[in-house]
Amino acid sequence: MRRVLATLTCLAAVITIGGCSSGGSTPQAPRSGEATGAGAPGTTAATPEAVTADPPTAFDAGAGVSLPTEAFSTNVGGGITARFLTLRDRTAYIVAPTGMTAVDVFTGKQQWAVPIEGEPGDPDNQRGPFVNTTGPRPPVVTEKLAAAAVPVSVPEQGTTPGYIALTVLAADVTTGKKAWQTDTKIASDDQYADAGNAVTKVVGVTDKAVIASYEKVVYGSTQGGKPIALDAKTGKDLSTEVGVEPYWVSKYAAIGLSDKRIPTAYPVKK
């Protein structure tokens, strides 16, 4: 009798959903960003039409697409405390302790991912509902490059102690092909220093340079803070004295705080 009931149940399943699984497992919903169905690679399904509007003042709340959780840091109330994402046209560029990714905001699918070589200096920064405003700042994206900065922990080698490095990663903005990665040692008198709650950021990208900085306040003392200048094509250190500690940089000026903590724009000098 049990075999008959099981057969009837399976027949009912065939009629209603077109099949019956012998394994008894429950179908799982696709994960965010996972390629499924007609939109999977290798099919001929068209990419969703990109609807644009200017000014962009009204949005379709019913058509939301989930993005990776690494895009934001939130508190227990759900408020955003830090963001690690830059939106350019229909692509979201996200930095995490282990690399940088590009995600199509119309489909939620990952377009490319570039890993960072080395151990994350602050691997847990983007985990959990914490009131945390530190961590890597969003990537800077131009027509050619996507660049981001993170801390990396360099292990000791022989008699050379380990240290924290400011790592800058640059990739082709369209293909995600890794352009270069540069690791710059962060000077510290503490051989046990870590990168917990450090702020790393690319503050500007021009045709010829990438400017980045590392900053961490420990008991009132600031570690790092001095920006570095790297060649935009190779990542090599330009050995240039930037002169100020900027928050934003363009080929015209740098914006930061003066000694009196007043917002100040500093014009470039030849």
pLDDT per residue as tens digits for the range 95-118? 998 999 999 999 999 999 999 999
Do the domain assignments include residue 249?
Answer: yes
Residue 246 has pLDDT above 70, yes or no: yes
And the tokens for 60?
Answer: 């379709």
Q: Which has the minimum average pLDDT: 40-49, 65-74, 249-258? A: 40-49
Q: Report the distance separating Cα 240 and Cα 1, nearest Å.
A: 84
Q: Which has the minimum average pLDDT: 54-63, 137-146, 240-249? A: 240-249
Q: Are 172 and 152 in contact (CB under 8 A)?
A: no
**Model pLDDT for residues 134-192, shown as the tens digit of each residue:** 788 999 999 999 999 999 998 888 888 888 899 999 999 999 999 999 999 987 766 66
pLDDT given for residue 225 in this prediction: 63
CA atoms within 13 A on the CB side of 55: 1
pLDDT given for residue 231 in this prediction: 95
Do the domain assignments include residue 12?
Answer: no
Do the domain assignments include residue 116?
Answer: yes
Do the domain assignments include residue 75?
Answer: yes
Q: Give the Cβ contact number of residue 212 at 10 Å.
A: 27
3-state class (DSSP) for residue 72: strand
Q: Are 203 and 216 in contact (CB under 8 A)?
A: no
pLDDT given for residue 221 in this prediction: 53
pLDDT given for residue 187 in this prediction: 75
As a whole-number percent, the residues of the chain with pLDDT over 90 amount to: 33
Do the domain assignments include residue 25?
Answer: no
- Residue 212 binned pLDDT confidence (cut-offs 50, 70, 90): very high
Question: Average per-residue pLDDT in the chain?
Answer: 77
Residue 241 dihedral angles phi and psi, to the nearest 5°: -80, 105
* pLDDT top residue among 9 and 150: 150
Do the domain assignments include residue 132?
Answer: yes
Q: Report the distance separating Cα 165 and Cα 1, nearest Å.
A: 70
| Residue in the block written with tokens 């955003």 | 80
Q: What DSSP assignment string belongs to 12-23?
A: HHHHHHS---SS
Helices (H) and strands (E) in the chain, counts: 1, 19
What CATH code is carried by the domain that includes residue 248? Answer: 2.40.128.630
Q: Report the distance separating Cα 245 and Cα 250, nearest Å.
A: 14
pLDDT given for residue 182 in this prediction: 96
Q: Are 216 and 174 in contact (CB under 8 A)?
A: no
Q: Report the distance separating Cα 201 and Cα 206, nearest Å.
A: 15
pLDDT given for residue 224 in this prediction: 58
Neighbour-count burial of 214, counting CB atoms closer than 10 A to its CB (0-12 exposed, 13-18 middle, 19+ buried): buried
What's the domain count of the chain? 1
Burial 136-164 (b: 16+ CB within 10 A, else e): bbbbbbeeebbbbbbbbbbeeeeeeeebb
* CA proximity to 152, closest of 95, 195, 100: 195
Mean pLDDT, range 73-90, rounded to an integer: 82
- Beta partners for 168? 149, 182
pLDDT given for residue 18 in this prediction: 41
List, in order, residues 6 or more apart from 194 with CB less than 8 Å away. 121, 122, 153, 164
Distances 102 to 29, 31, 108, 150 between C-alpha atoms, Å: 22, 17, 10, 17
- Residue 80 binned pLDDT confidence (cut-offs 50, 70, 90): confident
Do the domain assignments include residue 3?
Answer: no
For residue 116, what are the domain limits?
A: 64-267
Mean pLDDT is highest, among 13-27, 32-46, 120-134, 228-242, for 228-242
Cis peptide bond N-terminal to 136, omega within 30: no
Do the domain assignments include residue 202?
Answer: yes
3-state class (DSSP) for residue 60: coil
